[in-house]
Amino acid sequence: MALVGTIRTLTGLPQPQGLALSAPVTITDIKRCQPGKGSRRRLNRMPKEFVLSNPRDYHTPQSSYTREDLLKSSEGGYFGPGNAQLPAPPMLMIDRITEISLDGGAFGKGHVVGELDITPGLWFFGCNFKGDPVMPGSLGLDAMWQIIGYWLGWSGSPGKGRAVGVGEVTLQGAVRPDVRRVRYEVNMRQVRRGRLAVGIADGSVFADGIRVFFARDMRVGMIASAA
């Protein structure tokens, strides 16, 4: 297995629309979520009169989720008005969640295991790259950002999830059309609860059981919805 590369910052990385994304990630975005003076104020800033709905008033947490469940989340309102929402297909990069917890995982602070079924007809194989099709590494990262945002809503934090940074990304292989299933394993490292939460996690992407992608210190912050 060839080492493809290590990315320590993601300035300029192509980033599609979805739960995790509101704008391209820049060095400034990453610094905004670093611990330190003012970092929480930037993430939690919102009008004083804004009322957040409690996700637990609208959804009873489950220990696993089907594709149908995740599609309902992509329609909005699954965790209550203005709360966490997955992107719709084709940007939804998860077919099911097989495990989700508040206190499991490598750090005992919560974890998620998700899966994506791979077929040669998936949309990204036709354009990345012609004659040498692979799943873009940025989609693996986006899938794990989606999962962190979903976990924050599932665990009771209000607001909509937006990716605000990542510490380090290592690519160790590729997801090709002959792969049958991708598995995502996301381990929460730190969760800062407040009026709006921030989740920090490490995660891996596996292609038929072989790790091809690792990301450290992925950050998702919850923001107040303007809608």
- 116-138 residue pLDDT tens: 999 999 999 999 999 999 999 99
Query: What domains can you pick out in the chain, each with its CATH number?
Result: 5-223 (3.10.129.10)
Give the residues across from 220 on adjacent strands: 163, 199
Q: How far is CA 218 from the centre of its chain?
A: 8
Beta carbons within 10 angstroms of residue 23's beta carbon: 9
Phi, psi torsion values for 149, nearest 5 degrees: -60, -40
> What is the tens place of the pLDDT at every residue in 31-68?
444 444 444 444 445 444 456 899 999 999 999 999 99
Question: Which of these, 137, 147, 55, lies nearest to 94 by C-alpha position?
Answer: 147
**pTM of the predicted model as reported, rounded to 2 decimal places:** 0.79
Cα 34 to Cα 158: distance, rounded to the nearest angstrom: 21
